[in-house]
Each structure stands twice: as C-alpha cells, then as structure tokens.
Structure 1
Amino acid sequence: MEPKKITTTSGIEIKEVYCKPKTLEQPGEFPFTRGIQKDMYRGRLWTMRQYAGFSTAEESNKRYHYLLSQGTTGLSVAFDLPTQIGYDSDHVMAEGEVGKVGVAIDSLKDMELLFKGIDLQKVTSSMTINATAPILLAMYISLAKKQGADLKLISGTVQNDILKEYAARGTYIYPPKASMRLITDVFEYCSQEVPKWNTISISGYHIREAGSTAVQELAFTLANGKAYLQAAISKGLDINVFAKRLSFFFNCHNNFFEEIAKFRAARKMWAEITKSLGATDPGAQKLRFHTQTGGSTLTAQQPLNNIIRVTNQALAAVLGGTQSLHTNGYDEALSLPTEAAAKIALRTQQIIAFESGVADTVDPLAGSYFIEALTDEIVKEAWRYIEIIDSKGGAVNAIEEGYIQNEIANSAYQYQRDIESGERTLVGVNKYTDKESLNMEVFRVDDSIRELQQAKLKTLKSERNNEEVTSVLQALALSAKDGSNTMPFILAAVEAYATLGEIADVLRKEFGEY
C-alpha cells in the first residue's frame, strides 16, 4: 500500500524533505541538524505532554484523567517543593508549601492514588524531579510492578538533572559529587532493569528561566550533559548504551528565529560531543528533547496576550524539531493554570499539529539564508562558552566556583534593564498598557491540604511494618556508605512504605547537605 499523499489545500504535493543536492545535510543523519528522524513528524507527531500537578494525589489524578480525555498523549508530573527537597508534608520545613507548586507525594500510597485508573504500560510519564529523583522513580517502578506491567516496556523520563539546580533553580539536597553518584546509580540500574526509561532530562529550561540568553542556555546545558557522560563513562558504563536514554529539556522564548536556530544547533553540537567521547552508535549521538514554552515570558498584565506568546513559542519549538512539547496556560503569571487555561494550551498544540501544515515536511526552514547563518552563529558562540567551562575542569567545577551562576545573573540583569529603559518592548508591560484593573478567575490551593497529608502519614505509619522499614533503611545507609548501587535499596524502602522524607534523611546523614 502506497503512503498517503500529503498536499496543500490547493492540492500541491508536499515532499518529505527539501534540499539542494549536496548543499544541505539530510535529516536522520549525523550531525542531525535537520532532525533526529528521516521523516520527523510525517512518521510520528511530537508528544503533547501537558505539565500538571497540584494539591493532593487524588486532585492531580482528576486533572490527569481530564487531560487524557482532551487528547494529551503523555503525562508530566509537577511535584510540590517539600517533595522536591526531600521533606514529608508533616515536616516543619513543609509549612505553607504543601501541594502549592505541584502535587504532594509522601509515600508509595500517594503514588498509587496519583496514577489510579491509569495504565503505566500504556502512557509515558515525565517527572520533573531532581534531588529526590531516585525515590520518585522507585515509587513509579514499584507501582508499575503492582499493576503487573512489564518493566522492560514502561517508558518515560525522570528529570534527575542536579547540576542545573546548583546553577539556576535551587532544589538540591546533597553536595555535587554525592548527587552525581546518585544520578549514575539511576543510569546503571535502569539500563539493566528499565531499559526504555529516559534516566535524565538535561535541563536548559530553568537556566533560561533564571535569566540566561539562548546561547548560554544551550552552552551550559550541553556542558552539564558532557559532565554526565563523563561521570557515567568513569563508572564503566558504555556510552553507546546509556547515551540513548539521555534526553534534554529546553525553553522556548519569544525570539522566533533564534529559538529555531538554537534547537538545530543543539543537535549538531551534541552529536559532536558524544562522538568525541566515543559514541559510534547513531542512537547514542542523537539529541532528543522536550520543550516547554517560556514561563518567565508570561505577563500578569493583559494575561490573554500570553495565548499569542505561547502559540509563537510552540510553533518555533515544532519548526525546531522537538520530540515533545508542553504549552503554558495563559494565567500562569497569576496562579497555577485553571482547567480552561490548560485546555486552550493543549488546543494550541493540536491546531499547530493538524491545521497549520508545519508538520507536513521535515525542517521546512532549512536552506533559509537567515536560519542557516543564525544556526552557525549560535554554534560558534556556544562552543566559546564550553571551551571556557572545559578550561575550568568541566561543569561541576565551573558551578562550584560560581562562573555559570554569575554569567546567568549578568544576563538577567541586562534583560531587566532593557525592559525598564524601554530598549526592549514587552507588550502590555512597558508599551500599549491598560489602566483598568485585572479581573480574572485564578486557581488557588488551600493550606488545609497539609492537614490531609499529615493524617495520611499518621495512618500509614500505624499500618505498615515498622520493623521492616527500620531494616530496609539501615540497608540503604550501608549501600550509601560502601559505594554499591543505591537504587535496589531505595526500591526496597519504597515498597516497605518508608516515606520520602525518611529515605532522604538516611542519605542526608551519609552524604551531608549542600
């Protein structure tokens, strides 16, 4: 059966790929500037992965079922701040933060409620979690086992990128070297037990949100990626195996053509980095990435303008060849997105996919004098940063001496000055402003969530086998001390219903806090 012809509305046939002979690289071939697959979206659309999580596991579960019913093709879990930094909801440090910026997960019981009625073998899940990534991943694996899933088939991503936390975001717990050890434990464990799982999503998103330029986002993210490759290689892992399970997470900002060129440059540079470190398998040289539209670009003033900003950014991500995409809600400068905002964000992706025609041919902007020149310029500028970082001994050293943080801070300061001086226009903020006050429905999470989570924890601790919990936590402490892979011990602790905070505290005691 011949493949169905794709045509314009006028009936003009659209080819899979366009290029002048020998003047442009081919998609699906090293260095993958034009895309990691030969046919890109003609073969398979990007995953429409809407990021959601708030309040309790039960409330977030309702939102996941809603998003799936509206056509979301992948789930993406936001965790609250205590979960991200290893505190249970009843800890004094959790006060005022439970369920606010994501869902509260204290134990495997919460994870069971979070994914109730969702078959983990049939849906891919992305979890934005870093310092406590091994614990949340262990909970997910444990739940998949309870559902009877084949662990060789479950797939998804755990962010697990601690280096950008020190540089840009702040949700770290342990010192850098101990954190790197936990990350490589996840690499090693999953390569054997959960081979389809993406064990890290190396994130430029938060670097950009902290105020970096597009070039800095690219350079610092790839420098971090290089550090993870080197850490895994030094542990004896095969780059041709584990590099296939690395993915990236980029921001998409307002400058349309710069963002498209950034994504093309990222693929080209990563192919060269992996090759230089010994990767010979094309699958290990490909940069696969998720994109989220720029949260920091959204304005509380005239919030409906954000729908246009998000559309612009989403279109740039697709033209840049993203593998999955989250579109922000227009009300996110004010609160967590309402259901209505989440729906219009998803519809934005669906309209781009099915109505715009941009998915009909591979890398449609290739060969544009501007795009090609801009891609080359971004590559050149990003290599310059990576050379400086390499001269300092790599990303870990550059972070420890504050170089990356200072570069980001300087760019953020300059951007803010440009807005305040009017050098850069932000519609509705420093130009075309309105005098009338804002009147919008916003989403609020009530503080009573903490009491609900505390009650759940009290019940859990009275019902579980506490002797078993003590025993598995002691075994985990020993593994942290003797250098063995911690993942099987974390999994045993999770399955005995040890809490997230109890597990994180064992590792705090062994590794110290940063």
Structure 2
Amino acid sequence: MGSDQKRNWEQDVEKTINRFPERKETFTTSSDIEVERLYLPEEENAKYDEKLGFPGQYPYTRGIQPTMYRSRFWTMRQYAGFGSAKETNKRFRYLLDQGQTGLSVAFDLPTQIGYDSDDPMSEGEVGKVGVAIDTLKDMEDLFAEIPLDKVSTSMTINAPASVLLCMYIAVGEKQGVSQEKLTGTIQNDILKEYIARGTYIYPPKPSMRLITNIFEYCQQNVPKFNTISISGYHIREAGSTAVQEVAFTLANGMAYVDAALENGLEIDRFAPRLAFFFNAHNNFLEEIAKFRAARRIWAKIMKNHYGAKNPKSWKLRFHTQTGGSTLTAQQPDNNIVRVTLQALAAVLGGTQSLHTNSRDEALALPTEESARIALRTQQIIAHESGVADTVDPLGGSYYLEQLTDKIEAEVETYIEKIKEYGGAVQAVEEGYMQREIHQAAYDAQKNIESEEDIVVGLNKFQIEEEFDPDLLKVDEELEFNQKQSLQKAKEDRDEEKVQNALDKLKQAAKTEDENLIPYILAAVKVYASIGEICNVMRNEFGEYIG
C-alpha cells in the first residue's frame, strides 16, 4: 500500500478524533490483547490502493469514515408505526428510553398512497401496517415531546414523500426548530415502487419532478436532511439476488442523479445528501461483501462517470434493515438467531444505521417485548462482541475480497445492460428489472420446495407447535376514531385558506418547472390533508397503472 495514502489516512484519523473522540483510549480483547485501529497486509500489494485503500478514503471499500465505530456506533434506528399517531408516539418514546438513537416511521397503506383515512379506498387498512397520518395535527401528535433538533428521523414514504417532509418541517417550526437544524431521511425512491413494491401514485415523469424538487428545496433550506434513500431493501424482499439488489439500486441512483442534473442542479451540492437502504439476508459473508462492493462501485460511478469533485459525493452512506422475507411463522424464536446474523453482517459491512426485525413479524406487528429484544440485539453487538473495535475486521480475507470483486463485476454487467435500455426509468417501463426479480424469486422458491436450500423449521427440522396468541393487535375502533379526528381537524381549520393554498398548488403543478415544495408546505401549514394535496396532483399528473 502507498505510504502517501497511509499518511493521508492517518491525518484523516487525527481530524476525525478531534471531532469524535474514540470510545476508549485502548481497545482490547477479553484476553487483554490490544486491538489495532486497522489491519493491513504485511507485504506490499500493488492492487491494495486501487481496490481497498483506507477507511474514509476513495474507493471506500473499507468504510466511509476513518475510524468507523471506534468513534461512534451506527445509529440504532428501529422502524415503528401502528394505529394512531398518539399510540406510535408512545412506542417511539419507549424505544428512545430503551437506548434507541434514531426514529424510523412506518406509515399505513392509505398514507403511503396518498389517501385520507375516510376515503373509501382506505377502508380496512387504516393504521394496520403503520401509523395513519391525515393532517399536520397527526404529525404534531406523532412527535409530541420528541425534540426534533435532537433526534434524527427516517420516514419510509415515497409517492407522497413531499407532503410528509413538509409536515415534518412544519412540526419542527412549531417546536421552534428551524429547517436548517432538522436531520433525517425520507425514502422518496419511486423507481423501486414501480419495480418491486407498488405504492406509487403518479407516472414516472411527474414523480421524478417531485423528487428533484425535494433535492432543490432541501439543498437551499434543509441542508442536513437526506433527500432520498435509494432502496434495495424492497427489491430484495421481492425476491432479487444480492447482486440484483445492488445493481438495480445503484442504477436507480444514477437515474435520480441524471434527473437532478437535467434540472440544472450541481452534482456536488446535492449528491452528498443521497443515501441508500439495503437488506441484510442470511448468507453472512455474501452480505458483507455486498456492502463493500456497493460502496466501491458507487464511488467509481460518482467520481469517474459523473465527475463529482467533492469526496462527500463519492461516499455511499446506507441504512440496513434485516430481511423481513427471511423470517418464518414456524418456530418464530429462530428468527432471533437469523436477525442476529444479519445485523452482524450489516455491522461488519460498515452500515451507518440499522433496524433489526422482531421475532414475531412474520405473524403480526411486533409486541413491545419483541421490539425490545430486537433493539437489544444491536446493543449486544455494539457493546459486547468486539466487532466495532477495529475498522473492517474481515478485510483481507481471501474469500471475502474475491467475493467482493465477483459481486462488483456482476453488478457492473447488470448496470451496463440497464444502460442499453437507456437507463433505469426506461428499463422499468420495459419491465426488465421486474422480470429479472421474478425469475430469481421463482428459482429461490423452487430450491426451498425441493429442499436444495434448507430453511430451519420450515422445510426441515419441523416440530409440532401451538399458535402463540401473544401478538400485537390493532384496535378495530382505530379506523372510526381516526375518521372522527380527521373530521374535527377539518372543522377547526380555516377552509378559505385551505382552498386558496390548494388552488395555488394546482396552478404551480400545471407548469413544467415550478418547484412544488413551497406550495405543498403552505397547504400543509393550514391543515390541508394528505388526500386533498395528493388529489390536486393526481388531477394534474394522472395516475400510474402498473
């Protein structure tokens, strides 16, 4: 490895420690063996600089920070949301009391596709798979007694991401927290909805307009907020392989960069706020290699393909969630083991934040006890395992490095194929990525059914077991109560101001280049509902029929 590069890394370490001192003066094993900050090959290796480099330096294979978890652990960001905003607020405050370090909001299906709770389309779905949010009043209840200048919040929302972001901004203002102090992430990744998940509203072109509007608005007004979380998680949940997960996610990332550049944004101003979201599955070493390969590929794309000059633009920062589709309803306690392995892979792969699934999520929303065990899993890895005491502890493994290289090569082949279609948007419209995922999912299911692949407790090592009734149930009264709450919010607001704000949004939506975020924010502040705002844009943009 080059002595200059090592010297630069050591200077980066010194700067990092000045800002974020390491957690201990000396790290040791349980046998009192000192753990070095970083391990390197003992002999010169000409390819080391090119392929691996140093943590915090291009191409970031070994991590995006010089000291990684020796200074700060990853953010423990447990995904939560169910029923009403007030119920979810209680769960948030419980998790924060238990040591969680960031919030992650799950929204119910009507919210995800821009319908109010009293819309006929919402019947039977209100509050079932996440929290119901209709107006700013719900958002105020959701974050009551949670200071938004001290807590980072991730919101898993896509088609109506602009509306939820504006609600979050408005809540912050009501708390006295200015926009520039808000931190967090909105998922805001519509392409993977067309590919794998289905909670889209508008066709691709206006959807991409809203995304770039968010980039531009946040660049100027909410500079600490991650404007998109480009998601491979749902691509993997739909049945993709690890390689497809990375390839399709990075291809989507390139599409968002292209759209922003076409709208006149400067790459080194918006690219540092791009974030990613990956899955962690059971093949332990493949998952670690996947994360390392993804970082390296993205760094090359941003530096070489797009010509970004700011090193922050080259860094792939990502959140990880353990694999929901790997959980089994059979012998649900086995899921604790699966989640532990997956979480450990994410940490060894260098994740920036992590959600660990609960053991009962194949059956229902997690109980409070299950959510606590899932959080404790992260805390045990952080504080008891020792894997956070050195940077990239598995770096240099012959198998791991070759696997990283192999994944990188296969991902690049997929990206070239997508380029032949004209990019990710065109590949989605042609159904290319969807077909690839469907085939991978079919092959995986066939292997399970033939017992070529063993899933413990599902197709082998079964036991007779009784159904466990200790599951979280959403109160059936919730939907009625939520409708009543929405009705009261509408009665209490100034209807003239609402209609005026919606009319202005409608006129702005008719233009081709007006940024819509200020108009959405104005509508949110006078308590226009998510359905009313999205319907204005539905009428102007149309709806996408997949």
Under TM normalisation by the shorter chain, which class is it? over 0.9
Residue 228 in structure 1 maps to residue 256 in structure 2: yes
User: What's the CA shift for 1:447?
Assistant: 2.5
Q: Secondary structure at 2:105's aligned position in 1?
A: strand
Residue 175 in structure 1 maps to residue 203 in structure 2: yes
User: What's the CA shift for 1:22?
Assistant: 4.7
| 2:35 aligned to which of 14, 19, 28 | 14
Residue 139 in structure 1 maps to residue 160 in structure 2: no
- Separation of aligned partners in 2, 1:390 and 1:436: 50
**CA gap 1:379/1:347 in 2 versus in 1, 3 angstroms:** same
Q: Secondary structure at 1:48's aligned position in 2?
A: strand
- Separation of aligned partners in 2, 1:417 and 1:343: 35
- Tell me the equivalent position of 1:118: 146
Matched to 1:165, the amino acid is E
- Separation of aligned partners in 2, 1:509 and 1:112: 28
Residue 97 in structure 1 maps to residue 125 in structure 2: yes
Alignment of 1:42-441 (within 5 A): 42-275=70-303, 276-441=305-470
- Separation of aligned partners in 2, 1:120 and 1:435: 48
Q: Secondary structure at 2:543's aligned position in 1?
A: coil
- Separation of aligned partners in 2, 1:285 and 1:344: 35
Matched to 2:473, the amino acid is R
- Between 1:451-460 and 1:243-252, the stretch displaced more is 451-460
Instruction: Judge conservation of contact 1:261–1:375 (CA < 8 Å) in 2.
Output: yes
User: What's the CA shift for 1:439?
Assistant: 2.2
- Alpha-carbon displacement from aligned partner over 1:159-218 (angstroms, at most 9, x marks no partner): 000000000000000001110000000000000000000000000000000000000000
- Alpha-carbon displacement from aligned partner over 1:273-318 (angstroms, at most 9, x marks no partner): 1111121111010000000000000000000000000000000000
Matched to 2:189, the amino acid is D
- Provide structure 2 residue ranges, at least 5 long, that are not aligned to the other structure: 1-20
Matched to 2:274, the amino acid is L
Residue 449 in structure 1 maps to residue 470 in structure 2: no
Matched to 1:44, the amino acid is R
User: What's the CA shift for 1:440?
Assistant: 4.2
| 1:473 aligned to which of 493, 497, 502 | 502
Q: Secondary structure at 1:152's aligned position in 2?
A: helix
Q: Secondary structure at 1:321's aligned position in 2?
A: coil
Matched to 1:260, the amino acid is I
Matched to 1:420, the amino acid is E
Q: Secondary structure at 2:154's aligned position in 1?
A: strand
| 2:516 aligned to which of 486, 501, 506 | 486
User: What's the CA shift for 1:438?
Assistant: 2.5
- Provide structure 1 residue ranges, at least 5 long, that are not aligned to the other structure: none
Instruction: Judge conservation of contact 1:98–1:447 (CA < 8 Å) in 2.
Output: no
Instruction: Judge conservation of contact 1:173–1:508 (CA < 8 Å) in 2.
Output: yes
Matched to 1:504, the amino acid is C
Q: Percent identity?
A: 64
- Between 1:36-45 and 1:201-210, the stretch displaced more is 36-45
Q: Secondary structure at 2:180's aligned position in 1?
A: coil
User: What's the CA shift for 1:135?
Assistant: 0.1
- Separation of aligned partners in 2, 1:405 and 1:506: 30
- Separation of aligned partners in 1, 2:255 and 2:101: 32
User: What's the CA shift for 1:236?
Assistant: 0.9
- Tell me the equivalent position of 2:18: none
- Separation of aligned partners in 2, 1:401 and 1:12: 57
- Alpha-carbon displacement from aligned partner over 1:322-369 (angstroms, at most 9, x marks no partner): 000000000000000000000000000000000000000000001000
User: What's the CA shift for 1:462?
Assistant: 1.3
User: Which segments of structure 1 move beyond 4 Å, counting only runs of 4 or more?
Assistant: none
- Between 1:329-338 and 1:273-282, the stretch displaced more is 273-282
RMSD: 1.0
- Alpha-carbon displacement from aligned partner over 1:431-460 (angstroms, at most 9, x marks no partner): 000123232411111232111111111111
- Tell me the equivalent position of 2:11: none
What TM-score, normalized by structure 1, do the two folds share?
Answer: 0.99
User: What's the CA shift for 1:11?
Assistant: 1.5
- Separation of aligned partners in 1, 2:179 and 2:534: 25
- Separation of aligned partners in 1, 2:56 and 2:484: 53
- Separation of aligned partners in 2, 1:119 and 1:77: 15
Matched to 1:179, the amino acid is S
User: What's the CA shift for 1:154?
Assistant: 1.1
Matched to 2:229, the amino acid is S
What TM-score, normalized by structure 2, do the two folds share?
Answer: 0.93
Matched to 2:527, the amino acid is Y
Q: Secondary structure at 2:340's aligned position in 1?
A: helix
- Tell me the equivalent position of 1:36: 64
Matched to 1:492, the amino acid is A
Matched to 1:469, the amino acid is V
- Separation of aligned partners in 1, 2:469 and 2:478: 24
Matched to 1:62, the amino acid is K
- Tell me the equivalent position of 1:460: 489
- Separation of aligned partners in 2, 1:150 and 1:90: 32
- Separation of aligned partners in 1, 2:469 and 2:55: 45
Matched to 2:37, the amino acid is E
- Alpha-carbon displacement from aligned partner over 1:453-489 (angstroms, at most 9, x marks no partner): 1111111111111011011001001111112000000
Instruction: Judge conservation of contact 1:151–1:193 (CA < 8 Å) in 2.
Output: yes
- Tell me the equivalent position of 1:508: 538
- Alpha-carbon displacement from aligned partner over 1:408-442 (angstroms, at most 9, x marks no partner): 00000000000000010000000000123232411
